[in-house]
Amino acid sequence: MSIQIQKSFAAGETENKNAVEPGILYLVATPIGNLEDMTYRAVRTLQECDILAAEDTRQTRKLLNHFEITPRKLVSYHEHNKKASGPELIRLICEGQSLALVSDAGLPAISDPGQDLVQLALEQGVRVVPIPGANAALSALIASGLSTERFTFIGFLPRDTKGQEEILQGARAAEGTLLFYESPHRVIKTLKAMLEHLGNRSVVLARELTKRHEEWLRGTIEEALLWLEEHPPLGEYCIVLQGQSASEAKAEANEWWQQMTIEEHVAHYEEREQLPRKDAMKKAAKDRGLSKRDVYQALL
């Protein structure tokens, strides 16, 4: 892939406050609950763009009506029609029309098919401009009380048990805070999976963010499960989960291969990480504090 440089607005100009420049894909943040979180820039962009693409047009119309916005053209773009409508939307942008993409709540392209439209746009050299605003995961993080120095956004876990296990095991050694989304009917199952694979860590459950019934639950995973047994889950949840400390991560990293032979250690990297044998030997040598030559000799 060759390097790509994007100048979002014409050289020597600031953003035109009276017109949206054509031929741009705008990613417009919408409120996650409280309509007062809509920005002036977001309202203006939705008013001035040639096309508004929405995840759910019925939901978006409620927002448009509240702010007295009459879109020039409103179309649907969602998980089930993205393969057909995505290329057509990009074609219209390439012909000079401006398009604003919105999700039902929060930032487009986060846990929704907006990511696919962005990739299509960039492949065609279309400028992609974010219109920032509310985001549920970061809102939950900053008020959680857990570390904000480093974090990993995971979003919704897969529905199947095997997929959940793969994601959680992969995140097990992450030192930063982990951010998840979950629906009310699956949050208990998800917390039980976290307890099984990650242990009884500190967790924060934030539900109905920015809405009238906003609520925060702070404690351990076990305490959260006990609470939810007596208080049935309601509303959409953000789960903010404590990551491993640096010392815990280092200790675990030093332990996982202890019971392996050198040959098994090298094979692990070849099979699990698809590394060439030479690179697998080098990595195993580093883990064990050996030279690559020592590993090579042991495998003869």
- Write 197-201 long-range contacts (CB < 8 A, 24+): 197/164, 197/165, 197/168, 197/169, 197/172, 198/168, 198/171, 198/172, 198/241, 201/241, 201/242
Interacting residues of 74 by C-beta distance below 8 A, sequence separation 6+: 52, 54, 57, 60, 61, 64
Instruction: Please state the pTM of the whole predicted model.
Output: 0.78
- Of 73-77, 216-220, 271-275, the one with minimum mean pLDDT is 271-275
Q: For residues 299 and 108, what is the distance between their CA atoms, to the nearest angstrom?
A: 51
Tell me: pLDDT of 228 over 90.
Answer: yes
Tell me: pLDDT of 175 over 90.
Answer: no
What average pLDDT does the segment 126-135 reach?
Answer: 96
Domain 137-248: CATH architecture, name and number where available: 2-Layer Sandwich (3.30)
Instruction: Please give the share of the chain, as a percent, with pLDDT higher than 70.
Output: 92
Confidence band of 96 (pLDDT split at 50, 70, 90): very high
Which CATH fold topology does 24-134 show?
Cobalt-precorrin-4 Transmethylase; domain 1 (3.40.1010)
Tell me: pLDDT of 21 over 60.
Answer: no
Tell me the domain boundaries of the chain. Answer: 24-134, 137-248, 257-295
Fold agreement (24-134, 137-248): no
Instruction: Please give the share of the chain, as a percent, with pLDDT higher than 90.
Output: 69
Measure the CA dihedral 109/112/118/123, to 10°.
Answer: 140
